[in-house]
Structure 1
């Protein structure tokens, strides 16, 4: 006889699955709708996210080189963010303390935001055009 899951664990697993499904549907909607970047539209500057939609589309086609040319920062950042989300959902399901409450979370978040800001500044400077999306041209 198989032991059944505790009702609390079952409930948490359903919530985690719902959150994951919502995130996947949101990402799919962004890929399909392709909203324009408001920062690029109003300032003419590339943000840290510019080119992410085309990068993901290139990855889905198996074009890693094309993905590199769209957004190097997000190509490195998104897998780590995805792993963090999955680990956080697993911890939630198991009733463990969330990672965002750990002492290392704020420094890690500040480091990620700092790298994103540095990437944003660099990709808009002369001499660093290779960091701009390959479709570039505001």
Structure 2
């Protein structure tokens, strides 16, 4: 996956802090919306491998591994729904009333949130999602 980012800071070890525009907030069609990097657009800061020797303030293209990112996205969106439905259906299979089935679904959903928090901490600890600057962004 490639995204547009702005260099916020560079480091001697070949990395840079980048501000990545959240994809949902930017259509990457600057001529239509008046330009990128306005204060109204939400951004996420991350460290990226600076392979093109980009300087502070420059717009660059950053990429990350699609397969790993898609796996994490699938986990975050699918596991809560699967556990919610599974909790409800499991309680229903035991013959519990609708109120108890709903409660079982909510508890299972809560457990999925704990799984997601654990995944988030694991990804941050391992630095599993790595950004790499691959090109300077053409204006």
Q: TM-score range by the shorter chain?
A: 0.3 to 0.5
- Greater strand proportion: 2
Find the structure with the greater CA-based Rg.
2
The normalised TM-score by structure 1 is 0.33
The normalised TM-score by structure 2 is 0.32
- Greater helix proportion: 1
